[in-house]
Amino acid sequence: MRPSGRTPEQLREIRFTCNYTKHAEGSVLVEFGDTRVLCTASVDTSVPRFLKGKGEGWITAEYGMLPRSTHSRMEREAGRGKQGGRTLEIQRLIGRSLRAAIDLKALGENTITIDCDVLQADGGTRTASITGGFVALSIAIEHMLKTQRIKKNPLHGQVASVSVGIYGGVPVLDLDYAEDSQAETDMNVVMNDAGAFIEIQGTAEGHAFRKDELNAMLELAELGIRELLDKQAAALQAAKTPAAA
């Protein structure tokens, strides 16, 4: 029995509030249950030094948690003077995952920075960040097309992410904090809309997992990601359509 009463293959309630902020070219407040992440996509007409003059663009991501997004208050990274290993690891993961959805040549010499800031954490902040980050990115791309900064859409598909794990001996989908902190195994999976894997990160601090457990988790992940991809598409569609009077 899951603490939330969900069935093993059930996602939390997923919500996308597109255009949550007014300054960013793309933005969305994504919620996976009580996990709430503000994702913004900022377009900049320059590229990192290693890409200068190559006619290619870049997607990069940054991640942060507000100090009291968590159960007990964490020290502010800006105050400590450095980002922790977990933060750096997560933002590298988000960046890699989103780059997998885009043709960097078609993006031209532009950089899009995806900022994922966790307003409230309840497990799965990195998978929510990737899933919401893709939505913010898509809105920004749409904006670039409309304002003719690029001519053709560089996105070649969708990307979403979910966590799976083994909780109480049972493979479960989309772990919340109550499960995550108790899970024997935790795996984050990123997939595209062609059903292929972009990233798999599975960790077993407590209990090493067998091949059959791995397979059960991967199947759950596929299921969940398909659902997330649908919800992303619906949210993006709704954001484009002017609301009826």
* Triad 63, 115, 141: Cα angle to 5°: 145
Give, as ranges, the residues between 176 and 195 that touch a second copy (CB under 8 A).
Answer: 187, 191-192, 194-195
**What Cα–Cα distance (Å) separates residue 28 from each residue in 147, 153, 154, 183?**
20, 20, 20, 29
58-97 residues in contact with a second copy (CB under 8 A) are 62, 64, 66-73, 76-89, 91-92, 96
Q: Which residues contact 150 (CB under 8 A, 6 or more apart)?
A: 106, 107, 108, 110, 141, 144
Rounded Cα gap, residues 83 and 178, in angstroms? 25
Pick out residues in 123-162 that bind a second copy (CB under 8 A): none
Tokens 């919500």 correspond to: 15
Confirm or reject binding of residue 171 to a second copy (CB under 8 A): no
Number of residues that bind a second copy (CB under 8 A): 66
Q: Residue 74 to residues 6, 70, 113, 139, 245: CA-CA distances in angstroms?
A: 29, 7, 25, 32, 45
In this structure, the chain runs to a length of: 245
Q: How far is the CB of 74 from a second copy (least distance, A)?
A: 10
Q: Segment near a second copy (CB under 8 A), from 10-18, 37-45, 48-56, 232-240?
A: 37-45
Does the annotation place 92 within a ligand binding site?
A: no
Q: Is 17 in the site for a second copy (CB under 8 A)?
A: no
| Piece of the chain touching a second copy by CB under 8 A; list 7-15, 38-46, 147-155, 234-242 | 38-46
Taking Cα atoms as reference points, which of 223, 232, 126, 233 lies closest to residue 173? 223
Residues that bind a second copy (CB under 8 A): 21-24, 27, 34, 38, 40, 42, 44, 62, 64, 66-73, 76-89, 91-92, 96, 99-100, 113, 115, 117, 119-121, 187, 191-192, 194-205, 208-211, 214, 218
